[in-house]
Amino acid sequence: MTIADSDFPMDNGTSCLPIPPEEENRIVSELLKESELNLKEGNLCFVISNRWFSSWQIYAGPCIGIFSTDEQSSNSQHANDVHSEIAARPGPIDNSDIISTENNCNDNSLDIRRALEEGTDYVLVPQEVWERLLEWYKGGPALPRRLISQGVGQKQYSVEVYPLSLKVTDSRDNSKSIVKLSKKATLSELYELVCKIKGVEQKKAHIWDYFNSEKSTLLTVSDQTLEDANLTMDQDILLEVSLDRDPFFHSGMDSVGNELALVPVEPPTSSVSIAGAPTMSNGHSTGSSFNLCEGSSAGSSLTSLDDKNDNVYRGERGGLAGLQNLGNTCFMNSALQCLAHTPPLVEYFLQDYNEDINMDNPLGMHGELAVAFGDLLRKLWSSGRTAIPPRVFKGKLARFAPQFSGYNQHDSQELLAFLLDGLHEDLNRVKQKPYIEMKDSDGRPDEEVAYECWKNHMARNDSLIVDVCQGQYKSTLVCPVCGKISITFDPFMYLSLPMPSTVMRTMTVTVFYGDGSGLPMPFTVNVLKHGCCSDLCTALGTACCLKSDEMLLLADVYEHKIFRYLENPLEPLASIKDEDNIVAYRLKQGSRKTKLEIMHRDNVRGGERKLFGSPLVTYLVEGPQYGANIEASVHKMLSPLRRAYSSTKSRDGKEDGFMSAGFDEQSNICSEQVGTSCGESSFQLVLTNESCFSIHPIERESLIKPNQQHIRVFLDWTGTEHELYDSSFLRDIPEVHKTGFTVKKTRQEAISLFSCLEAFLTEEPLGPDDMWYCPRCKEHRQATKKLDLWKLPEVLVFHLKRFSYSRYLKNKLDTYVNFPIHNLDLTKYVKTEDGKSYVYDLYAISNHYGGLGGGHYTAYAKLVDDNKWYHFDDSHVSPVTEAEIKSSAAYVLFYQRRSKQEMEGESQVHTGPH
């Protein structure tokens, strides 16, 4: 669709009358849809400060498109609630808050501050949207960026917000300069740019990969991309220029015989013989030659800096090398160190694994990921304490998992999940996977079904990772409608354990009496976080001693009106936010009658009325409803709020005495008589509609016709009502869960790993986005799910779910989890009766320090042979005591099962000789 210029009036640089905000929103939405249908590499996008863009969305309404994020949309989710006439039109586009003040680039292009997050600090819009916004609002400056495609097989498009920045050292005078270009640019383009800046003839220029200020790879003019050449952000490259006037300068020769200037370059030494396998200290190669598939970038004959660390470090044991941080890669380094200290993996990758490489697996990475990981592991175990730059591995990671490309912080557990799965597929011994139709359990014995499922799994999946890291759990689903039970046995690579505080949720709800028999009272209850409204009603019913003939009607109160009734018992509690005000009306069970909703208005200056407090809700008796019936019900609902007086003042002189029981017999009489004998004037009641715009005064004799069995009225409070009733009980309605700085933070009590495991194994309902298709009902149902452990692997990985994400909330829990280092006995949790003992010892931990959107990852790992623990903090490696490794930063735990021999040896140590 083409948006005509006539859609909006514009002037020629002078001030103009803006078009309506909803029209701006429509135009931008259409342009976003159009750009989404025409995605291609090289398209221009523009970076806009989220501070300005959020103000535009408040003015024009939320506008969700391909280049905006869920977080951005959630930030503006209430934008439509703000009336366009009230929301101010934003000023000129202002990107000053996201522009870097340092700009030492070779050109005049503007830099964006590092470590900004999309949706939080900036948004991305296509060129067409930027041009419209610029016409409407002026301002800037423009921050154009290109769309690139990443990944092998299924391409993913992303905007390269931060182009690759390279530091150029000119060998002629050691001067420094910076060039910036896309990581998808070719080495030919790099040569062209550097030579243009330096005024050098390209045929005389030679550019080296100068990582860590050491010559490694000579970058030749070619179509290879900078990404495939393993060039990383902010690294050094070296420019050398051949000197024709000095033909006798022995500095090495390039590929066409040109003499190079400066210091002679020694060829980097490497003893790689198979898949990156180094010659070990005994002088024998660990394998035979291995060639990658044709066209593989990993098969490059160029020698990288990484290979220079293959020289054997003698005199000190392996496994103590750090990993250099390549720019927010601590998440990767932490996960890699844990895997590189997993004994079965170390033993496997230090041997010849040539025959297990599966280059033809369509689910794998052509063997390249396994080769890169094996190569890195060998370097870590052969370089002594020299820190390794994992550039080749990161390049492979970005190639096959574009979500980990770039230099933003990521999740070490997500990387671990991808890496284990990728290694499995690259090492899968099954070359042709057979098609296997899964059968339902149909009441068969668990042992039979579990064996069948594992056999079918092994027919398609057979690798070192399956042998060492994969277990099996039993999954039981029960349909809430027909009771259908489905049992499956599924493999797992790790266990993601919820923290108990992420399983349970504390909620405060104010309970009102729907018959006016008591004062409103807030109750705080604990419910399943992923439960539904029926769970909340059950917990509230217990807390408030709900009678057998009563029910609770939940409602969400917003701006002193009922925003919605939560009448669906399966409504997920996730739809209720912590800052919401939720009330429950205690009503008699039985047939639904006409619902009366009473909202409160107070006098303000100028004779205007302003809503206050929480509405009251009751059911009216059957039959025609007159104004007198409504007034009587209002008196009855307000009776608990009645102040206690003996006269105008109480006998002790206090004007605001309260009754201990809420109301007495006299006040009941007043309610029934619609109050004249007690000195009360009739209430000022106004009938309104659902939108609360239409109002009609209620006469006592007038017939009230309900709208769909629902009557809404305003109760206009005067000085008389305030003198007779205490409205504070209506005003002080607490939030569901109070957060913020006003709440005194208390130290959370430690929880055990066992309590996390038990929370994982607790039965719970599936979420609304994870419905199960019941084969009997032929419908998707919100079934209940129960997990049980059936088969545990040799290496058991626990992921503690410290991070929680939703549309409205991101959170990290720093709760201290007390986990055993030795003798983690899980035997009682394993349901299969195989007679085995499942006792584990800890050998590695991935730690996360700090909050969301940043933080830092490290690792603790144990050298099993010498029974010592070490702290791996990127390049820095230091010994630690066993007492130091337990902290609230523990994020992923790695355990290895004790062998039968170890168990017998331990038993002999404890029992001693007889």
380 phi and psi angles, rounded to 5 deg? -60, -30
Q: How far is CA 755 from CA 574, 758, 800, 817, 914, in A?
A: 23, 5, 12, 9, 38
3-state secondary structure of 527: strand
For residue 141, whether the previous peptide bond is cis, meaning omega lies within 30 degrees of 0, is yes
Residue 40 to residue 124: CA distance in whole angstroms = 15
Residue 169 to residue 210: CA distance in whole angstroms = 9
Do the Cβ atoms of 190 and 258 come closer than 8 Å? no
* DSSP notation for 634-672: HHHHHGGGBBP-SSSS-TTS-S--B-TTS--HHHHHHHH
Residue 314 to residue 291: CA distance in whole angstroms = 29
Do the Cβ atoms of 680 and 672 come closer than 8 Å? no
Amino acid letter, 669: I
Give the pairing of strands 485-492 and 471-478.
antiparallel
Greatest pairwise CA separation for the chain in angstroms: 121
Residue 519 to residue 106: CA distance in whole angstroms = 73
Residue 238 to residue 219: CA distance in whole angstroms = 10
Do the Cβ atoms of 589 and 706 come closer than 8 Å? no
- For residue 699, give both structure tokens: 């006469």
- For residue 54, give both structure tokens: 């959020």
Only one residue has tokens 């046995």, namely 489
Catalytic residue among 457, 678, 737, 856: 856
- For residue 15, give both structure tokens: 């001030």
Residue 715 to residue 612: CA distance in whole angstroms = 10
Amino acid letter, 143: L
Only one residue has tokens 């060129």, namely 127
Sheet holding 44-49, edge to edge: 122-126, 44-49, 144-150, 156-159
Listed in sequence order, the residues at least 6 apart from 907 whose beta carbon sits closer than 8 Å to its beta carbon are none
Helix axes 412-426, 330-340, angle to 10 degrees: 50
3-state secondary structure of 419: helix
Q: How far apart are the first and last CA of the chain?
A: 89
Do the Cβ atoms of 144 and 166 come closer than 8 Å? no
Catalytic residue among 45, 330, 469, 544: 330
453 phi and psi angles, rounded to 5 deg? -65, -40
Within 10 Å of residue 887's Cβ, how many Cβ atoms? Answer: 13
Amino acid letter, 253: M
- For residue 300, give both structure tokens: 């490059």
- For residue 180, give both structure tokens: 């910036």
3-state secondary structure of 270: coil
Do the Cβ atoms of 480 and 549 come closer than 8 Å? no
SS (H, E, C) 672-735: HCCCCCCCCCCCEEEEECCCCCCEEECCCCCEECCCCCEEEEEEECCHHHHHHECCHHHHCCCC
CA atoms within 13 A on the CB side of 278: 24
Q: Is 876 a catalytic residue?
A: no
Residue 353 to residue 376: CA distance in whole angstroms = 14
Q: Is 78 a catalytic residue?
A: no
Residue 396 to residue 299: CA distance in whole angstroms = 12
Q: How far is CA 532 from CA 529, 549, 566, 569, 575, in A?
A: 8, 22, 10, 7, 9
Residue 687 to residue 776: CA distance in whole angstroms = 49
Residues with a known catalytic role: 330, 856
